[in-house]
Amino acid sequence: MTFTHIAHPVIEQLQQINSPTGRTYQTPDGKKYPSITTVLGADPEKKKILEAWRAKVGEEEAARISVQASRRGTRIHSMCEDYLNNWNPYSRAMPIDVETFNSIKPILDESIDNIYCQEQRLFSHHLGVAGTVDCIAHYNGVRSVIDFKTSAKPKREDWITQYFIQECAYAIMWEERTKQPITQLVTIIAVDNHEPQVFVQHRDEWSTSLIDAIKVYHNTVC
């Protein structure tokens, strides 16, 4: 399988700044915007759920699980990125990750092409946020924001609304930066010992939730 890559308008370079309070990006004109993941992480309800889970399993075990999941997600994402770049995804892969990647590989082969970018830093003056999108490409012929995830168990749609809000933000950032509209949001999840899941959403279904999340962030953190 060989994927086609599409040239897109030049996007301004952003400086990523990590701190204990979250991640920000600095635009070429000096503005600093929080990452969309930092914004969504400020949700008080999400914090309560995480705190309850940490209390249940213990801080040490919670930290171990979180680090393990984060590292695994990063490895699978790297395999997806290599594959879509027409490189060998297995050259640096750990054996434990090969089966996981292979579970979603047919989806990549059948549904993704015309790749505009991967791991592209974006921002929006209108929203006042920034972030790094996994992939923008055609999914079943429609230009889409595409996000790759891993999970130990299948997800219900109402459990992962923050995924859709984050992808909505990327779609708006992309349009603001390139003048190319994106309305389709695609989440591809590799699930342990299950068939992979694909969720396809429309950007406009999540724009109000995105604006609300940004307001909560500013009321809570700023």
Mean pLDDT, the chain, rounded, equals 91
- Segment 115-138 shows an average pLDDT of 97
Residue 79 banded pLDDT, cuts 50, 70, 90? very high
pLDDT value, residue 34 = 96
Helix axes 44-57, 59-84, angle to 10 degrees: 120
- Three-state SS annotation for the chain: CCCCECCCCCCCCCEEEEECCEEEEECCCCCEEEEHHHHHHCCHHHHHHHHHHHHHHCHHHHHHHHHHHHHHHHHHHHHHHHHHCCCCCCCCCCHHHHHHHHHHHHHHHHHEEEEEEEEEEEEECCCCEEEEEEEEEEECCEEEEEEEEEECCCCCHHHCHHHHHHHHHHHHHHHHHHCCCCCEEEEEEEECCCCCEEEEEEHHHCHHHHHHHHHHHHHHCC
Which fold would CATH assign to domain 15-220? Lambda Exonuclease; Chain A (3.90.320)
| d(C-alpha 175, C-alpha 38), whole Å | 21
- pLDDT on residue 222: 62
pLDDT band for position 96 (50/70/90)?
confident
Whether 59 has a pLDDT exceeding 80, the answer reads no
**Any idea which of 6-10, 98-102, 107-111 has the lowest mean pLDDT?**
6-10
- What global pTM score does this model have? 0.93
**In terms of pLDDT, which residue wins out, 76 or 46?**
76
pLDDT at 57 over 90: no
Q: Is the pLDDT of residue 150 over 80?
A: yes
